[in-house]
Amino acid sequence: MSKKRSDCPISSSLEIWGDKWSLLIIRDLMLNKECTYGDFLKADEKIATNILASRLQHLLENGIIDKKDHPDSKLKILYHLTEKGIDLIPLIVEINLWGDKYLSTPADKKQLLENIKKDKQKFIEAARAYLTEK
């Protein structure tokens, strides 16, 4: 882990996962459980390969994600959230709810948000169970 700029928990946390690309990688892993490098490149946001490689390495070094060999290809690696990364579920849920309140949400994303609003705690528990099942 890199040297902290301050002892503020918000500042320290943001240094680990607080940039746009890191949060989108975490989002993709929460939704898909596991992703390859190529899966991240296919996301709508179109992350550049050098940025993706840098963010994946940073998240690995800070224990937010881990990697394992792909069962079907020796050339591919599967990335997944660690327990530390899974603990970010409530934060990602709140960011989604804030975005829905203040920004326009596409129709294809509304169902997920409705499920969250219906019972936020149940949604978080289900997401955690999904990500920790073997």
pLDDT band at 105 (very low <50, low <70, confident <90, very high): confident
Sign of CA dihedral 37, 38, 42, 47: positive
* pLDDT tens digit sequence for 81-99: 999 999 999 999 999 999 9
What span, in angstroms and rounded, lies between the C-alpha atoms of 88 and 75?
29
What span, in angstroms and rounded, lies between the C-alpha atoms of 111 and 109?
6
How confident is the model at residue 96, as a pLDDT?
92
User: What CATH code is assigned to 9-132?
Assistant: 1.10.10.10
- Provide CB contacts within 8 A for 123, sequence distance 6+: 93, 115, 116
What span, in angstroms and rounded, lies between the C-alpha atoms of 44 and 19?
17
